[in-house]
Chain A
Amino acid sequence: MELQSPSRALLEADNLTKRYEDGQLALDHVNFAVAAGEIYAMLGGNGAGKTTTINLFLNFIEPTEGEARVDGIVTHRDPLAAKKKLAYVSENVMLYPNFTALQNLDFFARLGGRTDYSKDAYRDVLLRVGLQEEAHGRRLKGFSKGMRQKCGIAIAILKDAPAILLDEPTSGLDPKAAYEFIGLLDSLRGEGKAILMSTHDIFRARDVANTIGIMNQGKLVMQRSKQDLAGEDLEKVYVEYMAGYMDRETETV
């Protein structure tokens, strides 16, 4: 029997394929794995299939073929068990507008099964994601996109799940907040979380990710480790891969 190594795969995409009802092939036999203590950054243009991948992990949609696994649990077989091990920050965080930041945090933390937090714990997390104290007791109605995003990240942290799914988490964050967010990701990785993140921010991805995958039209066209990419210009690689893939596409046509 194999010993569970500290870097066991917590998030796995196994031939993950999704064809939407309208016939659109959004994901085409994608394979990857994210181990505990690892950050995986998904790059790719608009409509490449990043959000689709994350939705499959959350069982918001069912795969046409293949499966997504969270800590070995096939998400579409046992979604409730899989979601216990997942925290999630959506592309555009939306919370209850009539609740304050603290009330929103409290509700979603409880929904995530955490009933043991004090008000101070909520304040600490909000400060950790960079939401100034003055805003903690304010209703979400008046929050900017970036402020909502910070609350969303705080909610994901509070759930304290082994795996975290982040869909463009830095969109809407100001440069300072985005910078601090990278530090936050680093410390979450240090706690042993497996993090799957979609992003358009090549440079930050390069700074923080252990592995970078580039998606194009539903296919994972490149997957390389940080070490592997050392010394290379990721932007150039990205453009080349996109273009190369395009070329190949046009050749076959």
Chain B
Amino acid sequence: MFRLIVEKELRETLGTTKFAVTFAVCAVLILLAFYVGARNYQVGRAEYEAARAENLKQMEGLTDWGRVDHRIFMPPQPLAALVSGVANDIGRTTEVETRGELRSENSRFNEDPMFAVFRFLDLEFLFGVVLSLFAILFAYDAINGEKERGTLRLSFANSIPRDRYILGKLVGAFLALAIPLLIPILIGCVLLPILGVPMDNGAWLRLGLVVLAGYLYLGVFLALSVFISAMTERSATSFLMLLVVWIVAVLIVPRASVLVAGRAVDVPSIDRINFDKSKFETQLWQEDRDKMMDWQEENSREGESGREFFERFQQYTQELGEERNQRISEYTARLNEERRNRESVQQRVALGIARISPTAVFTLATTNLAGTSLSLKHQYQAESATYQKIYSDFIKEKTGRTNSGMVIRLGGEEEEELDPIDPYELPDFSFAGPQTADVTAAALPDLGLLVLFNVVFFAGAFVSFLKYDVR
């Protein structure tokens, strides 16, 4: 019985022009997403390698480690090819100083604002927007359409349990969409390594989970469509209702959640923090200047040469400078931490609200899996901060001083001949990106939520259909 209904549903769907057109469009879009994604990865990777090489090259011939302009770069994430997430919004170049905050610049969208306007066509967009719409298109009249066509009463003149019937409808609709879609997806998967995207076991596992999330998400919209079609008498009504739900879930809730959270939780802006910081710096500098003046008055010794005095003075200012920098960096660290805390509260609020939409849940699950969620930025920041310490120690060792104090070069001294530095001595920075175990764990709750959406909507469909008038 169940199999019969599934089979009928498959046959009824697969035979239509609607299906042929939909399938063709989906197949083309999916293949395009794989292809464009892989090409982008290649380009990104090449740019990354070139930038790294260029960074070392421009140091050649320098003789002083203290004068080095060192940059580190974020490599493209392989799965960002399919789920770009925030990968294109994060700065890919970071100028490393021995102290102070690191700033990443040159995000993809910064360089090509054109793409920022329309975003990329990636797998996440395809499932999130296009396929959910197709799911509605195929299932909005699952029940009431049969009634309108008069086939529901003829079917129920037979001894069919209603639960079996509605499950058969849902499973049939799901298979009719899911199985054909697997073809372009599998072809795309074969293309990835051919097009130069390095796929290790972890990446395959994550990609598999991305596809699973896509199918769960497709199931959510199918179950919802069947649910609403079992609540209404006319297919025109259910179509309209589903369209409204789709707009709210796909377009409105995710954006509104950010707005609402922005209103609910106040986060100081970067500008505000910079302002506070420079005010503090000025204040400290004034204090130190007074101290230096006092020092000069108190410490002038009889019979000391100008040069000796100056060396002692430089010693003192260096100490002061180090202390000042210490305080400034503590102060900014505190400001930044405060900001981060508020930001994370705001983020939690936004994501919490957004999760009432299956689309947002799907986006969060897939960006987590692809390693292109917000945590990519945090992780990159953390790793570059760690590197900064290593780098700073390296420079200190090479130059014998931090470049924090005032470096005053005394004129008139003979310029001694120095050996050129070897840029390859620099400690290496290579950002590995989010790890499979971590991203999978992070994505699990959202995958669970997608399952829950499926169950809830199917239960709704089932309950509605139990009392549905089949005449």
Contacts and interface: CB of A to CB of B under 8 A. Distances in A.
A86 B154 contact: no
5 contacts: A84-B159, A90-B150, A95-B154, A110-B4, A155-B154
A178 B16 CA distance: 34
Contact of B159 (A80, A96, A103): A80
A108 B154 contact: yes
Given A55-B471, A60-B470, A107-B8, A96 B158 contact: no
A125 interface: no
Given A88-B154, A94-B154, 4 more contacts: A80-B159, A98-B15, A107-B8, A165-B157
Contact of B149 (A60, A86, A88, A94): A94
Interface string A42-76: 00000000000001001011000000000000000
Given A111-B158, A113-B159, A95 B15 contact: no
A155 B158 CA distance: 11
Contact of B150 (A81, A92, A113): A92
Contact of B153 (A90, A107, A111): A90
B149 A111 contact: no
Interface in B1-48: 1, 4, 8, 11-12, 15-16
Contacts of B15: 98
A248 to B, nearest CB: 32
B161 interface: yes
Contact of B151 (A95, A159, A165): A95
Contacts of B161: 80
Contacts of B158: 83, 108, 111-113, 159
Contacts of A155: 154
Interface string B144-187: 00000111011111111100000000000000000000000000
Interface in A10-34: none
A93 B15 CA distance: 22
Main secondary structure of the interface of A (DSSP, over half): mixed
Interface in A82-123: 83-84, 86-88, 90, 92-99, 103, 107-108, 110-113
Interface SS, B side: loop
Interface string B118-158: 00000000000000000000000000000001110111111
Interface centre among B8, B15, B157 (most CB of A within 10 A): B157
Contact of A90 (B4, B11, B16, B154): B154
Contacts of A87: 157
A110 B155 CA distance: 11
A78 to B, nearest CB: 10
Interface residues of B, number: 22
B156 to A, nearest CB: 7
Contacts of B469: 60
Interface of B: 1, 4, 8, 11-12, 15-16, 149-151, 153-161, 469-471
Contact of B12 (A55, A96, A152): A96
Interface in A183-230: none
Contacts of A103: 11
A60 B12 contact: no
A81 B149 contact: no
Given A80-B159, A107-B4, A111-B160, A96 B151 contact: yes
Interface string A126-151: 00000000000000000000000000
Contacts of A107: 4, 8
Nearest to B471: A60
Q: Which of B4, B154, B160, B161 has the most chain A CB within a 10 Å cutoff?
A: B154
A241 B124 CA distance: 71
B12 A98 contact: yes
Closest 5 pairs (CB-CB, A-B) = A94-B150, A88-B157, A83-B159, A80-B159, A84-B159
A60 B154 contact: no
Given A98-B12, A98-B15, A99-B12, A111 B155 contact: yes
Nearest to A80: B159
A80 B149 CA distance: 23
A81 B12 CA distance: 28
B4 A60 contact: no
Contacts of A165: 157
Contacts of A79: 159
Nearest to B470: A60
Contacts of B4: 107, 110-111
Contacts of B156: 58, 60, 83
A58 B8 CA distance: 23
B154 A97 contact: no
Contacts of A152: 154
Nearest to A97: B149
**Most A CB within 10 A of own CB, among B12, B159, B161, B471:** B159
Nearest to A111: B158
Contacts of A84: 159
A103 B12 CA distance: 10
B265 to A, nearest CB: 51
A148 to B, nearest CB: 9
